[in-house]
Amino acid sequence: MSSFLSIDFQDDQLVLIDQTKLPLVEEYIKTDELERISVAIERLEVRGAPAIGITAAYAIALALKGVSCNVDEVFNSAYKRLASTRPTAVNLFWALDEMRSVFEANKNKPDIYGILLEAAKQIHQDDIEMCNAMGKNGLGIFEKKSNVLTHCNTGRLATGGEGTAFSVIKTGYENGLVKFVYSDETRPLLQGSRLTAFELAKNGIPFAMNTDSTAAVLMKEDKVDLVITGADRIAVNGDSANKIGTYNLAVLCKHHNIPFYITAPTTTIDLKIETGNKIKIEERGREEINQIKNVQVTRPEYDVYSPAFDVTPNELISGIITEKALHRPPYNFK
C-alpha cells in the first residue's frame, strides 16, 4: 500500500514531496513562503492539475499568515504570482478563484489566515473524496481482467488523494479487474518511468515501463486492452488537454480498436471553453529536451519545440470518468 504523502500541512507549513528527485531520492520541501511554493510549481517539484490547485490554495492562505493590514494588496499579489506559474492546468485557477471567494467574504475578520487555511484544507479533503469516487466510477470501463496502458502520472503525486486515472487502475486491481500495467516513460521529463513506476511499485501492482514509442507495438501485439490517462483541462465538448503524447495514444487506440479513457475531477472541466482549440498550451524550455538531469545530450544551440500538453479530440475518447459519473459521448458538460 502507498506509504507516502505528496502534499501535507504540518506546523503551519506546507510539505511537498520533491518530485524532481523521485524515484531515487524521497525528499520533502517544507515551507511557508509564497515564492518558494510558486517556484516549486514552476519547477515541477509539485505537478499534476489537482495537486497544483491544492498547493495554490495552501499558498494563498500562507501568504496571509501574520498579516493584519493591507490584506487586499497581499492577497492580490499572491493570487497574481500563483496564477503566473502554469497556464494550462485549470485546477490552479479554479482553486485560486475559490480562495478569492472565501477571502472577499471574510477579509475584514481578524483571523483571515485561519479561515483561508480551513478553506484550503477543505479543497484538499474534497479532492481525496473525489479520487475515491473516480476509482469506483471507473470500474464500469472493465469488461474483463485487463492489461492497462497509462501515460504520465495520475496518482498521489498528481492529486490530493489516490489519483485520477491511477485511482481507477488501483481500484480495478483491488477488484480483480486489472492484471498488468504498462507505463509510458513520458518524455521529456519521464513522469511515467520516475513517478508512475514509483507509485505502482508502492502499491504492489504488476507493471513494466516502456518508451512512449513502444505503445504502438504493444497494441499491435494485443498486449493492451484499454488506455487510461488523466487530463489537465477539459473543454465543454469533451476535448481534453493532457501531457504531450496523449493524443498519439488516442490515435493509436482508434486504429487498433482499443478503448481510450480520460479520468479527471469536474474541477478540470473548463465551462468557459467550448472546444479544445481554445485551450492555451504551455511551452517548456529547450533544456528539458537537450538535457537529461542537467547533462547536455545534444548541442545547446539547436532549436527546440516543446509543448507540455496536447489536446485529444472528443471523438477519440471512449469515456470521461469524473467523481460524478462515467460519461459517454457525445459530451456536453454544460
Say which amino acid occupies 87: P
The pTM for the full model equals 0.92
Say which amino acid occupies 23: P
Q: What pLDDT score does 189 carry?
A: 93
Catalytic (active site) residue 232:
yes
Q: Among 32, 126, 184, 232, which one carries the catalytic annotation?
A: 232
How many Å separate Cα 277 from the centre of its chain? 20
Report pLDDT digits (tens) over 298-312: 999 999 999 999 999
> Which CATH number applies to 7-133?
1.20.120.420
Rounded Cα distance between 151 and 192, Å, is 6
Pinpoint the residues of the chain covered by CATH 1.20.120.420. Answer: 7-133
Report pLDDT digits (tens) over 184-240: 999 999 999 999 999 999 999 999 999 999 999 999 999 999 999 999 999 999 999
| CATH of region 137-327, choose from 3.20.20.70, 3.40.640.10, 3.40.50.10470, 3.40.50.300 | 3.40.50.10470
Q: What pLDDT score does 293 carry?
A: 85
Q: What is the mean pLDDT of residues 320-329?
A: 98
Q: How many CA atoms lie within 13 A of 282 on its CB side?
A: 18
The residue among 31, 88, 77 whose CA lies nearest residue 58 is 31
Rounded Cα distance between 116 and 65, Å, is 9
Q: What pLDDT score does 1 carry?
A: 47
Long-range contacts of 198-202 (CB under 8 A, 24+ apart): 198/22, 198/23, 198/157, 199/2, 199/153, 199/155, 199/156, 199/157, 199/163, 199/166, 201/23, 202/1, 202/2, 202/3, 202/4
Rounded Cα distance between 68 and 245, Å, is 47
Pinpoint the residues of the chain covered by CATH 3.40.50.10470. Answer: 137-327
Query: Which residues have a Cβ under 8 Å from the Cβ of 245 and sit 6 or more positions away?
Result: 151, 152, 184, 186, 187, 212, 310
Secondary structure of residue 214 in the 3-state scheme: helix
Report pLDDT digits (tens) over 73-106: 999 999 999 999 998 878 999 999 999 999 999 9
Q: What mean pLDDT value characterizes the chain?
A: 96
